[in-house]
A and B are shown apart, each in its own frame.
Chain A
Amino acid sequence: EAQVTQNPRYLITVTGKKLTVTCSQNMNHEYMSWYRQDPGLGLRQIYYSMNVEVTDKGDVPEGYKVSRKEKRNFPLILESPSPNQTSLYFCASSLSLGRVIYNSPLHFGNGTRLTVT
C-alpha cells in the first residue's frame, strides 16, 4: 500500500531534550516536506526536499533541522525543543513539485502530536 509513515504518533517531551520524528514513503517520490498545523494558523511548511541531499527552508524553519540521505526517508530533528514547538506535525511527499503534475498532489502521513513541556 502506498503510504507516508510517520513515527511516533504521539510524543511528550521536556524543553531542551533532542528528538527526531521519522518519516518514510514507499512511493519513490522525489519531493518530501514537513508541515506543522496549529489552530487558527493552518498548515505551515517547515522544510522541504526536492531530492536526495537537497533541502530548503519553508516558511517556519527556526528550531528545526532535516536531512535527506536517502530518497524514502526525511526525518525532522528538534535539537532543543521549546514549548512553542508544541504542535501537530505532518510529513508529505509528492512525485515532484519541481514540475507540477496534475493528479499527483501531496500525500500526507497521519501526523505526530508533539507536546513540549
Chain B
Amino acid sequence: GESVGLHLPTLSVQEGDNSIINCAYSNSASDYFIWYKQESGKGPQFIIDIRSNMDKRQGQRVTVLLNKTVKHLSLQIAATQPGDSAVYFCAEIYKAAGNKLTFGGGTRVLVKP
C-alpha cells in the first residue's frame, strides 16, 4: 500500500482497548472540525465532525472531544479492532477565510491482536 508518512507519531493499542488520538489545532477561530481515517492504499475517509459551539459528539464507537481553551481535539475509539489500524487526521475549517480547510499531520494507530 501507499506510504502515508514516515514521520508520523504512532499509537499502539491492544485489540479491545480504547484508543485516544489527539490533535492540536492552530486557529482559535476555526468553526468546524473533522476527523478522517486513512487506510493503507486508500484516500482519507470521513469519520466524524463537530462544530465549534459543541464540546462533545458521539458516533458509532467513536467520540470527538473539543477543548477550545487549549485548542485541542481528540478522537476516542471504543473497543479498538484490527480494522481500526490506519492513519488518523484532524482537519479544521475557518469560515472567515473562505472555508479554508487545513489538515493536521496525522497519527498512525497500530492495533495489536
List residues of A whose CB falls within 8 A of some B CB: 4, 37, 39-40, 42-43, 45, 88, 90, 92, 97-100, 102-103, 105-111, 113
Contacts and interface: CB of A to CB of B under 8 A. Distances in A.
Given A39-B3, A110-B43, A100 B103 contact: no
Contacts of B5: 37, 39-40, 42
Given A39-B3, A40-B7, A113-B2, A100 B99 contact: yes
B16 interface: no
A42 B90 CA distance: 11
For the complex, would chain B's binding face be called helix, strand, loop or mixed by DSSP majority?
loop
Contacts of B51: 102
Contacts of B43: 4, 90, 92, 108-111
B45 interface: yes
Given A43-B89, A88-B2, A100-B95, A107 B103 contact: no
A37 B105 CA distance: 10
A107 B43 CA distance: 9
B93 A39 contact: no
A111 B6 contact: no
B2 A106 contact: no
25 contacts: A4-B43, A37-B5, A39-B5, A39-B7, A40-B6, A42-B5, A42-B104, A42-B105, A42-B106, A43-B44, A90-B43, A92-B43, A97-B101, A100-B93, A102-B32, A102-B49, A103-B49, A106-B44, A106-B46, A107-B46, A109-B43, A111-B2, A111-B41, A111-B42, A111-B43
